[in-house]
Chains A and B, each alone.
Chain A
């Protein structure tokens, strides 16, 4: 009997032109906690989501206990003995705790077509008790519990049936120390039962401490698998980052003085339920970063600056005292915004590249007569699309046909065309491949040098460290305290420590 529990064999997955996972083969053993690390976008989550049926598998196969498995969704994955605790919220609002725990397995409690709710709640309560979470009542609506408790419930949900493989995808960042200890305890239990835990985390010390072996992915490619005892943090980092990301990826300067000139000042901005009492100044020619967990409110900061928040209190003012209270006013006063929700908020998806580039600049293009000429519009669109090297047939092509990276280039082209001075970029490299990423970083550096001010909101810690002059970390909708200044010594952990 071999000790291999699960094999990924030559697994690939592409999204449009982005190769998310390329020919990855990894063996996972019985009775081990197997770490899976890599930068954001390295393909680890995609790989695990294929394993658990969230995504369909591109090509290649997964072999569990010597048998190839084909799962189409999480319930089928559970039936094969595979479960996942996802990065985001993995429980469904509007259902009770018990219903969440037994989601997809309700048949166990059904007799003659009628669901025995009491039996379900009783069993769920027994499970919660067994896990030591007595304070959670299975009959309650899950909405009553906070993010952390819901994560604990998810632990119960994905492990109570003693699955052979449990995937834990970047869950620890969302948990307090107490919650983490609970999670570690159950990871250990699963391992001791002879089953396998696949543990995805950005926290390298944690990975080294808790895992037996660690596999590294980079840009969708499998790099290596090492024994946790044989390596240190730096070794892992080297494997993760590789050589490609060395020079000319992020900006390289350090110690440049930030201008004293304030171009935008945000005072006591509150958006009820999202951000509270946020204040900061944006200086000329700097890149100001915002980081935090996904629910920390940092995305709303970008919207607030752009005049796009509902019910905003407090003030957003330019240097000359102009108040920014609506999107048209923001655009008129040279503020640009690229949303995290690119397809809905950044570009008009069912329009041509040309129309998209011209849209915010129609007033300028109309000139004093306010009349638009097709020729002038086309020349304007062509110029800026070419400048951004958008991969396209021509500017009449619809943006819906472009890849994520090229869409983002169109977004940037329209604001460069508008010649905005303050640029708010929310998750500018989300879902974008390495090459376009590098282009975007280079462009940001160029804009900064040209005296433009940039607010960069990002969930990718590395790009914040690599690109920003100052970084503000948000937590629970508030500024978490002192800002972090650009320095070569700044590490991921410095930021994470402030996030959680």
Chain B
């Protein structure tokens, strides 16, 4: 009797070990999946477009498109790590661009600071309602998205807002844009990976109350991260204006969706938390831009593109979302 029990126990243990190994394996595959996806998508579109996608000219174009998304995605990455969402990013970009244009007539450094400050202000509004008034982050940011989109439309009623064309055009070079992007990414990576900042954000995403009981000032962190994300997107406004030259009513439209699709394609868990990795930002932004650009080179209409991107987003979220981390185990 005791013997059979022992055997049974061994069997159970072996089965448990197997299941565990399988789970470890699955999570490893999940971790490299975005990179495989990036390579695969690049190659497939390259073949489909007869090598046009990865032609040097197009790569330059691709890169110029990726900067804004990538910089703005860094801020949203922090927000999503905490388990929050931000739908107001597009409007932040638009407002910050208008402020930048206006101030560029006086002084470019002042204009950059102004754009960053404008972004930070909207971030602070988001943070205030989210943290102090305890409104859900997606509700708050959807409201601010509409509110500031209205302001942008009002400001551009008669004509697009233009900056100092001479000064801004002079700054439109890839080296500058790339340096700024790299600087933002490296700084963000450093603080996320090697200081308690990143660990605190992850802990808030994985269990906010417990994070507070571990000594993290969760409310302060949440507020500041929204301000930070706004400020970062305010910086991206600089690159945006330099590239386009003027701000129209639709400036920055749908940036928030692009960012979210990019992050999720990059392997970011939609609920944030412990499994977030900084690589998600880089891989995701690249993957999104290449997918987007690939669809363009295939000659698809914008409507078709949007449809396909929507489907891809849904499928990726459905496949990669880790049900275990959402489940509450008692």
A: residues with CB less than 8 A from B are: 306, 308, 326-328, 330-332, 337, 339, 343-352, 355, 358-360, 362-363, 366, 370-373, 393, 398, 400-401, 414
Determine whether the beta carbon of A400 is less than 8 Å from that of B329: yes
Taking CB atoms, residues of chain A closer than 8 Å to B274 are 348, 350-352, 355, 398
Determine whether the beta carbon of A363 is less than 8 Å from that of B324: no
CA distance A428 to B176 in the complex (A): 58
Taking CB atoms, residues of chain B closer than 8 Å to A370 are 195-196
Taking CB atoms, residues of chain B closer than 8 Å to A308 are 212-213
Taking CB atoms, residues of chain B closer than 8 Å to A352 are 274
Determine whether the beta carbon of A393 is less than 8 Å from that of B20: yes
Taking the closest CB of chain A, its distance from the CB of B187, in whole angstroms, is 14
Instruction: Specify which of B20, B214, B327 is in contact with A360 (CB 8 Å cutoff).
Output: B214
Taking CB atoms, residues of chain A closer than 8 Å to B327 are 400
Determine whether the beta carbon of B330 is less than 8 Å from that of A359: no
The stretch of B56-64, B132-140, B198-206 that contacts the partner chain:
B198-206
Taking the closest CB of chain A, its distance from the CB of B120, in whole angstroms, is 24
Taking the closest CB of chain B, its distance from the CB of A350, in whole angstroms, is 4
B210 at the interface (CB under 8 A from A): yes
B154 at the interface (CB under 8 A from A): no
Instruction: Specify which of A345, A372, A373, A393 is in contact with B196 (CB 8 Å cutoff).
Output: A372
Determine whether the beta carbon of A346 is less than 8 Å from that of B196: no
B 1-51 contacts with A by CB, 8 A: 20
B250 at the interface (CB under 8 A from A): no
Q: Knowing A328-B215, A360-B214, A372-B199 are in contact, say whether A349-B206 is a contact too (CB < 8 A).
A: yes
Determine whether the beta carbon of B199 is less than 8 Å from that of A362: yes
Determine whether the beta carbon of A351 is less than 8 Å from that of B207: yes
CA distance A366 to B207 in the complex (A): 22
- What is the chain A residue whose CB lies nearest that of B330? A343
Max chain A Cβ within 10 angstroms of own Cβ: one of B196, B207, B213, B329: B213
B 252-284 contacts with A by CB, 8 A: 273-274
Q: Knowing A363-B196, A366-B195 are in contact, say whether A349-B210 is a contact too (CB < 8 A).
A: yes
CA distance A362 to B215 in the complex (A): 10
B 291-330 contacts with A by CB, 8 A: 324-325, 327-330
Taking CB atoms, residues of chain A closer than 8 Å to B167 are none
Known: A327-B212, A331-B215, A359-B214. 13 other contacts (CB 8 A): A308-B213, A327-B213, A332-B215, A339-B213, A344-B207, A349-B328, A351-B206, A351-B274, A355-B199, A359-B199, A362-B196, A371-B194, A371-B195
Taking the closest CB of chain A, its distance from the CB of B155, in whole angstroms, is 42
Taking the closest CB of chain A, its distance from the CB of B114, in whole angstroms, is 31
CA distance A373 to B199 in the complex (A): 12
B: residues with CB less than 8 A from A are: 20, 194-196, 199-200, 202-203, 206-207, 209-217, 273-274, 324-325, 327-330
- Those 7 A-B pairs whose CB atoms lie nearest each other, nearest first: A331-B215, A348-B207, A350-B206, A362-B196, A400-B329, A351-B274, A348-B210
Taking CB atoms, residues of chain B closer than 8 Å to A351 are 202-203, 206-207, 273-274
- What is the chain B residue whose CB lies nearest that of A400? B329
Could you list 23 examples of A-B contacts with CB < 8 Å?
A328-B215, A328-B217, A330-B215, A331-B214, A332-B215, A337-B213, A343-B330, A345-B213, A346-B210, A349-B207, A350-B273, A350-B325, A355-B199, A355-B202, A355-B274, A359-B203, A359-B214, A362-B196, A366-B196, A372-B194, A372-B199, A400-B329, A414-B214
CA distance A332 to B213 in the complex (A): 12
Taking CB atoms, residues of chain A closer than 8 Å to B207 are 344, 347-351
Taking CB atoms, residues of chain B closer than 8 Å to A393 are 20
Taking the closest CB of chain B, its distance from the CB of A212, in whole angstroms, is 37
Instruction: Specify which of A327, A346, A349 is in contact with B329 (CB 8 Å cutoff).
Output: A349
Q: Knowing A359-B214, A362-B196, A363-B196 are in contact, say whether A344-B209 is a contact too (CB < 8 A).
A: yes
Taking the closest CB of chain A, its distance from the CB of B207, in whole angstroms, is 4
Taking CB atoms, residues of chain A closer than 8 Å to B206 are 348-351, 355
Taking the closest CB of chain A, its distance from the CB of B16, in whole angstroms, is 10
CA distance A275 to B203 in the complex (A): 31
CA distance A215 to B240 in the complex (A): 78
- What is the chain A residue whose CB lies nearest that of B215? A331
Q: Knowing A347-B210, A348-B206, A371-B194 are in contact, say whether A400-B215 is a contact too (CB < 8 A).
A: no
CA distance A401 to B24 in the complex (A): 14
Determine whether the beta carbon of A372 is less than 8 Å from that of B213: no
Taking CB atoms, residues of chain B closer than 8 Å to A348 are 203, 206-207, 210-211, 214, 274
Taking CB atoms, residues of chain B closer than 8 Å to A337 are 213
